[in-house]
Amino acid sequence: MNLYRIKKSNIDRTGHGLYATKDIKEGTRIMNYIGNIITKKQTEESKKFDNEKPIYLFNLNNRYDLDGDVSWNTARLINHSCSNNCDYEGKGLKLWVVTIKDIKKGEEFTCDYGFGYDADYKQFPCKCGANNCVGYIVREGSRWRINKKFKKTQRVNR
């Protein structure tokens, strides 16, 4: 039985998300993250990846990337959250999604998309609804920069 089902997402209201079909323990592999394995050269030369933050592109090693932007990769439907309950893991040329918290039946699976903090972070608003949401899709280690910025702006506004 699949541990997930596809449903309209509460996070990405225009799209879909993956939801737990039963209670799942922390450390469980939900599904593989699949796609086309391409060389770094192909990545560099492809117009598809001109964007600074290709959501579905994973660095596998020095030579290869994985392009998960293919219809048969169901794991691409997992949305970003500032309080994610899953993470991407990999070994060799394989990637998968693993739970990093206990998950209740009916909860949406979420990951940290791992975007860095840079000038164009505002292009990717986050609507995850978590208490600690910083409002933009930025990886956990860089969110303090946005929090700091928010505080500064608030102070100026007062």
Binding residues for Zn ion, per CB under 5 A?
A: 82, 126, 128, 133
Q: Which is nearer to Zn ion, 33 or 136 (CB)?
A: 136
Q: Which is nearer to Zn ion, 2 or 123 (CB)?
A: 123
Q: Which is nearer to Zn ion, 24 or 126 (CB)?
A: 126
State the DSSP string of 114-132. Answer: -PPP-TTGGGSB-----TT
Residue whose pair of structure tokens reads 């100026």 in the numeric block: 156
Tell me how crowded residue 107 is: count the other CB atoms within 10 A of its CB.
Answer: 15
Tell which residue, 27, 24, 62, has the closest CA to residue 43.
62
Tell which residue, 111, 113, 138, 98, has the closest CA to residue 3.
98
Shortest CB 95 distance to Zn ion, Å:
23
Shortest CB 76 distance to Zn ion, Å:
19
Shortest CB 147 distance to Zn ion, Å:
12
Shortest CB 114 distance to Zn ion, Å:
13
Q: Which is nearer to Zn ion, 59 or 144 (CB)?
A: 144
